[in-house]
Structure 1
Amino acid sequence: MARYIFITGGVVSSLGKGLASAALGALLQARGFSVRLRKLDPYLNVDPGTMSPFEHGEVFVTDDGAETDLDLGHYERFTGVPARMTDSVSSGRIYSNVLEKERRGDYLGKTIQVVPHVTNEIKDFLAIGEDEVDFMLCEIGGTVGDIEGLPFFEAIRQFSHDQPRGQCIFMHLTLLPYLAASGELKTKPTQHSVKELQSIGIAPDILVCRSEHPIPEKEREKIALFCNVRKEAVVAAYDLKSIYEAPLAYHREGLDQAVLDAFQISPAPRPDLSIWQDVADRIHNTDGAVSIAIVGKYTQLEDAYKSIKEALTHGGMANRVKVNVEWVDAEVFDLEDPAQHLEGFHAILVPGGFGERGTEGKIKAAQFARERKIPYMGICLGMQLAVIEAARNVAGIKTAGSEEFDHEADVRRFEPVIYHLKEWVQGNEKVKRKVTDDKGGTMRLGAYDAILKEGSRVAEIYGSTSIEERHRHRYEVDTKYREKLEECGLDFSGMSPDGRLPEIVEWADHPWFIGVQFHPELKSKPFAPHPLFSDFVRAAVETSRLV
């Protein structure tokens, strides 16, 4: 049976619970334990799939097709454990499940209440796969005291009492603000946060305190005394230059040892931190730098492209270079020449997205990269727009467009090079979709196989002609335009196993121009960079040497 670690937060949001959870998972792995990480979010959306990137950042997709919180990306990047549909749940999903059971009559006519019905649903979720790993790390979104989070806090309180003694511990993240006027760290917000947690029946075993300044011994003792934890269990969390320093930083502060002590695991296995030492070395000891432009429509919030930015960092590690990412708003190109904004970059990446806004600017970015021989990576919509650019400017299909933007227009006004995906094969079943279907969870989601063309650039990069990657999209490139586009030099170098769905396109006569329908960034890790991003950054390095 797994030991449970519940991670909560207080004082303010965005303290880094997800990063702390991921780093702790990596440290426990370094000591030889198996782990799984989970996220429980209090919002009422069933999942983040239909939430605006400006609201919630990126949507992370699992192999089994779940649309989840971006923290699951942190979990995977730090532990290498593929997340599953059962590793993410929201209040919306919990309440939806409870109401479905009530409608079916599963509760035999009883009055449905938060306690016990909602809390029992949460506890059932927590227990999934409890015999598979040594440690289950469960992060509760939001902060203690939030109204919407109360059912989750009550559920984990009950869950800890249902388990054998010593099977569950609580780790609480707080903030130690620094007052410059008096030159001191203030512990009172942490004390109040712990008091709030204790008022609902949860006593933290470990406190992780975010601070911009070193925590004096006197303040550690004060926190331990008034929060009723051991002094050794007061762990400092300082700001870092790179998130990938977190495992080593938390180890130096004794977080993993504090966790093992709380579980009374003795003697503690010695950690092997060689992987993270190598990662740190690649971050701090580089042989140069490259500049890469991300031309997107959600550039005001970097978390909207979190996994892409991290995958580029991983590609930099693989090549021992620093990757300087600059965000370029695609809408700027609607009125201005892209050259003045893209000159000087060593590579251009156009990510995924939804809706028509900014698409013409992304098409111009693809054209600029193609004509100037600048390395280009198009992901999902970025691939589709590169195909539209090729159709318009190379193949002579001047009215090439996408049903995503033009499905309400007269079809005679444009050529739908990109069409709404109506059916595909998932496992042994055929999936069908209509344009009018609900938006949530109706895309082609999760891991699918692709077959790569022998001798193609992508086959060389992957070192294989058979791959599996994660998808999240509703529209596809129409293969009826394939022959005409390939005659112009745009090679369809990756296809679905049945040959019906284009997965990868590349310009054979270009130094590096690849568009992929899937999301390779979701599988990249600092200790195992995705091959596409590694080679993309390598191409950027080659370009930088020519400038």
Structure 2
Amino acid sequence: MLNNTKYIFVTGGVLSSLGKGISSSSIGTLLKNAGYSVSILKIDPYINVDPGTMSPLEHGEVFVTADGAETDLDIGHYERFLNTSFSKNNNFTTGQIYLSVIERERKGDYLGKTIQIVPHITDEIKARIKRAGNGFEFLIVELGGTVGDIEGMPYLEAMRQLKHEMGTHNVLSIHVTLVPYVKAADELKTKPTQHSVQELRRIGISPQIIITRSELPLSKDTKLKIALACDVDSDSVINAEDANTIYKCPINFISEGILSPIARVLSLSSLLPNMTEWDMLVKKILSPTKNISIGFVGKYLSLKESYKSLLEALTHAGANLDTKVDVVFIDSENIDLEKLYNLDGILVPGGFGERGIDGKIQAIQYAREHNIVFLGICLGMQLALIEFARNVLQIPNANSTEFDKTCKNPIIYMIEDFIDSQGKKQVRTHNSPLGGTMRLGEYECYLKNDSKLAKAYHNQKIIRERHRHRYEANPKYRDLFESNGLMISGECNDLIEAIELENHPFFVGVQFHPEFTSRLQSPNAIILEFVKQALAHKK
């Protein structure tokens, strides 16, 4: 099976954030819709073992897979485009590579040999790439960073070696690079692309396809110039012009003719993907017939990458409801309640830390008291419980131990302190090197019959959703909540998974992160219902 896998390596040049992840996802989508089995692997050259401890302000969102791996946000793109679930095997870092090699050296597995970048590090890289591709007809491998970065050199060497091992018709190299527009000269400049490809060729890799990122379309002459300078076929310069939505990219790639060089290099028959459903959804993103406004109350609003999956999930829901979801970003550190008045819905996302908490609680109170459609996710659900405890139940000092470790009424507290109804400490958690614990990955949630949550999930009794949090709702206050109109509509054994107000158009909070399982072709049920209810109660 291993020898039947074809590998597509995607590298980037000139600068980061060019869209290698979207390019990889788009190519994977086309291959999958042409009838092939496809997987994608993201390699991150940083030395962190995973992005779990990295600031979202610096790195963007941490995406969580079903098996509980904290991964790069590009894994989220892969899942959203290919409409499938990936695992910890679809992402690895330099930290993981070196840690594995050093642990094996300490055990004596290398029989006393001197451990070197080549062959020991490159062999470990190649072994992981092969494992990720095992059982699939295609594996797309995206290398983070840019060509020339010192930390990326071992990966490029491993890629070069794999081409020799697997054969030229089983390995395709695609290079994504920038063709900047210089306004003063009124010209698109190809020199950065030429130098980037020269750097690749210097270390022994000659890309067969070049994807150019630009603000403007490339002329036929410009494409030919790049093809001649970079030694690729004339039909192998694919322009990825800025698109109105990332989901248009696979369609644009077809228009640019990317399928012909892919099929030629990999010795495939003609590729004919069925993109009818995809194209229809993209058209609804670009030209919807309805619209709503959703207030997005958060603290990382300067960098939208921190909430990437959730923003994409709103796009998925809107496309499937033929509705444009206008997201109004509201800074929770400087909350302006007047901005909430004309909204069709209010969403409070997950997060960590005390900053901006008061503003989020004020927004939740406003949604509850003014019958505005509301969805709270993870921290958003926890704050909804705190707001209800303070303002409805009148519980003094109601808080979370995340914000006040000595609070007398901990509505929310640390997972490791959780005791179930039989007096036993819960152990269904993932140990974190930070010293606490974290619930990561997919867990079952049992839904209460006739609840809004159950109806959103088509009356399923059990659903599975993903988690990433350290704190849980305290079951001590459960009876008090429910006797005052706040229903516990979802639970995992003794853990409170979801809440909703009984006498409210739609006021729902979930402990899990539904955005991690939302895809364009299969939007997450509760986010879809949230948008549907906002549309129904549009002001």
AA matched with 2:323:
V
Q: When the two structures are aligned, how many residues end up with a matched partner?
A: 530
The answer to whether the 8 Å contact 1:32/1:269 transfers is: no
How has the CA–CA distance of structure 1 residues 284 and 432 changed in structure 2, closer, same or farther, with 3 Å as cutoff?
A: closer
1:444 paired with 2:426, answer no
Q: Which residue in the other structure is 1:309 paired with?
A: 311
2:514 alignment counterpart: 520
Q: 1:108, CA displacement in angstroms?
A: 2.1
Query: Is residue 59–residue 69 contact of structure 1 (8 Å, CA) maintained in 2?
Result: yes
The match for 1:470 is: 466
Matched, 1:2 2:5: yes
Partner Cα distance (1:83, 1:525) in 2: 13
Query: Which runs of 5 or more structure 2 residues have no equivalent in the other structure?
Result: none
Aligned to 1:345: 343
* Mapped contact 1:211–1:236 kept (Cα < 8 A): yes
| Residues 31 and 98 of structure 1, relative CA distance in 2, 3 Å threshold | same
* Number of the residue aligned with 1:181: 184
Identical residues among aligned pairs (%) = 48
Distance verdict in 2 for CA 1:12–1:166, change over 3 Å: same
CA distance in 1, matches of 2:361, 2:260: 52
Give the direction of change, closer, same or farther, for the CA distance of 1:85–1:430 in structure 2 (3 Å limit). farther
Query: SS of the counterpart of 1:418?
Result: strand
Describe the SS at the equivalent of 2:354. Answer: coil
Is residue 504 from structure 1 mapped to residue 502 from structure 2 by the alignment?
Answer: no
TM-superposed CA distance for 1:440, in Å, is 8.5
User: How is 1:194-205 mapped onto 2 (pairs within 5 angstroms)?
Assistant: 194-205=197-208
Cα pair 1:375 1:512 within 8 Å, conserved: yes
- The 5-angstrom pairing of residues 30-49 of structure 1 reads 30-49=33-52
Taking structure 1 as the reference length, the TM-score comes to: 0.94
Per the alignment, residue 232 of structure 2 pairs with: 229
Contact 2:172/2:207 (CA < 8 Å) preserved in 1?
Answer: yes
Q: Is the 8 A contact 1:495 1:503 kept in 2?
A: yes
Aligned-partner residue type, residue 99 of structure 2: S
Structure 1 position 486 matched with structure 2 position 488: no
- Matching residue's letter, 1:452: L
- 1:370 aligns to what? 368
User: What CA deviation, in whole Å up to 9, does each residue of 1:266-306 have, x standing for no partner?
Assistant: 2x142211121111221133122111111111111000000
Report the alpha carbon displacement of residue 27 of structure 1 after superposing the two structures with TM. Answer: 0.6
Does the CA-based 8 Å contact 1:424-1:432 persist in structure 2? no
- CA positional deviation for 1:8: 0.2
Please report the TM-score for the alignment, with normalisation by the length of structure 2: 0.95
Aligned partner (choices 185, 193, 196) of residue 196 of structure 2: 193
- 1:403: which partner in 2? 401
Partner Cα distance (1:248, 1:125) in 2:
31
Partner residue, 2:427: 431
Q: Which residue of 2 aligns with 1:532?
A: 526
Q: CA RMSD in A?
A: 1.8
Distance 2:138 2:426 in 1: 37
Counterpart code for 2:61: E
Q: Distance in 2 between matches of 1:441 and 1:317?
A: 39
**Deviating runs (4+, > 4 A) in structure 1?**
432-435
In the TM superposition, what is the alpha-carbon distance from 1:443 to its structure 2 partner? 1.3
Paired letter, 1:212: E
2: distance between equivalents of 1:86 and 1:271? Answer: 27
Aligned position for 1:458: 453
**Alignment partner for residue 266 of structure 2, among 241, 263, 283?**
263
| 1:450 Cα deviation from its structure 2 partner | 0.8
Match of 1:290 among 289, 292, 302: 292
Q: Which whole-Å deviations, capped at 9, do the CAs of 1:34-75 have from their partners, x for residues lacking one? A: 100110011111101010000111110000110000011110
Contact 1:61 1:67 in 2 (8 A): yes
For residue 424 of structure 1, report the CA deviation from its aligned partner.
9.5
Equivalent residue for 2:134?
131
Between stretches 3-12 and 533-542, larger displacement belongs to 533-542
Q: Name the counterpart of 2:154.
A: 151
Instruction: Tell me the distance in 1 between the aligned counterparts of 2:435 and 2:9.
Output: 29
More displaced, 416-425 or 157-166?
A: 416-425
CA distance in 1, matches of 2:426, 2:103: 26
- Distance in 1 between residues matched to 2:23 and 2:9, nearest whole Å: 12
1:374–1:511 contact (8 Å) kept in structure 2: yes
Q: Distance in 2 between matches of 1:222 and 1:441?
A: 56
